[in-house]
Chains A and B, each alone.
Chain A
């Protein structure tokens, strides 16, 4: 069984990666969470409740869509995508937060906190909190608060308090540190709903477990659609939650190559990127051991990506292990390749992808044209892009959009005078 990967010899360790490097004050809280998760996992009614929740609230199972126009235009293999963009709040993030939300209810806690980079996980957590009647606080790097006003707006409308974190580089990693600090004081009534497959045990395991719904559905659906398994599967990798969710259920399928695509930013040689596997080193930070982008003395470096959701120094320990074992191959896509791929997907198939997800597509397009026409490739369209109109319009450098913003801003200025 693919899920045997979770049965690790040393709890929370995948090969040499993972672990629980936490301040002692949080030890008991982690033990409580591990116990709650283990008991939920062995209770068949919990998974059923989870799947039903996702069906009635988040449009699951999301379909797999064949992309004939794009396949023809690019040449080579036939391209399919898993439509995680159709989830409630527009991304796969909903899978994880709804799962953790059900767990919070089992543990009887009344408050959730979360970190967010671009704001996707923050919006998803605030949505879950509204639905389940929980108090909610979201930590977000001050830089990201500035860049992502629409998501901050929605979090606040959903009843969450958004805290702008000004420490460090004022981005995702700093928001994680701030959430950890909150939790170390508030654990009695609070759950920290970490948004990705990183951090201390049990988060990598737990988040992968909830996200594995993506791969479980995909495997069945692609078999039904095409009569065979895909030759290659692609997913973007920031922390790695959508990739883990899609990849893990295919782990034992020998003929299926798994490819993770990291954020190449302005190119690896520029130093402005978030490519952990070829440029990073093994280290311990934020509670776990993995590949980090760090200097030789272990200080974390600044990262860059056009997609805020991939702009992170670390990567899930399960993926690091699978990388070292040669079970997942990693490549990267640059900001420019991503912009080109966004345009192409919108025009050929009428799908508006999130910039994050488009990294997976860009990595795919580069390789699938060398493949045979009978080959099948699948990528995870992990989020939709129309909600990120400010970012995508800026990335595409659309002059009419710019003019519109100027006009709007003038209107606001006039009305406030």
Chain B
């Protein structure tokens, strides 16, 4: 349910830019976050549709750039992208791994506006 708060912050930032750059309508917003950051795109989309009403971002399309979960495995020496993080290397089953990507926080990358 943190998506509600995240969307509120997104809309505050959009509003700031709308005033500063004098645009009236947002067509699309590109957001990025790590796959393991516990952010659910569907909840984000739903929260956005509800909260963007009567703001410049109403009906804007959200695009998500989901950054992959990546581990470095010290046993086989590889960097690997994962869907699910289980604390082991999916290739060699090594247990000496380090998470190097996937927990990036939510960012607004760019907007298309009129």
- Answer yes or no: do A and B interact: no
